[in-house]
Amino acid sequence: MNDMANHKLKWGKYKGKHLKDVPDDYLKFILDNTQIFKGKMLVYVKTRLNYPKDKWEITVTDSVGTDGVYIVEAYNEHQAINKCKKQYNIRVTQSYHGTEFSTIKISQ
């Protein structure tokens, strides 16, 4: 997460500034009014601003004995899948089809 603090903005009023040096009110404005933040940057900003996590429904198929539907809280889809794997000890298969994860955001 610290690597994101040193990530420089490539746009806007604080272009060229590290995320750690950008005021919270500006990050909140961008977060609430655009969809610019993605991936690790989105998780960093939401964590820094103490945003509530979204609830995700994860459906797991073709795993090693842990197929099913799980509910996790996370800031984005990628984090939700990783939390599901870790929290429910889901072992991914290396078969022809492999383990599949489908996600649905069920609340914000």
pLDDT score of 5 more than 90: no
What is residue 91's DSSP assignment? P
Average pLDDT, the chain: 88
Q: Per-residue pLDDT averaged across 60-78, rounded?
A: 91
- In one-letter notation, the amino acid at residue 107 is S
Between residues 8 and 96, the one the model is more confident about: 8
pLDDT for 49: 92
Instruction: Report the candidate in 97, 94, 99 with the shortest Cα–Cα distance to residue 58.
Output: 99
Residue 39's region, left for phi above 0, alpha for psi from -120 to 50, else beta, is left
Q: Which long-range contacts (CB under 8 A, 24 or more apart) does 2-7 make?
A: 3/40, 4/40, 4/41, 4/43, 4/44, 5/44, 7/41, 7/44
DSSP 9-49: P-SSTTTT-BGGGS-HHHHHHHHHH-----HHHHHHHHHHT
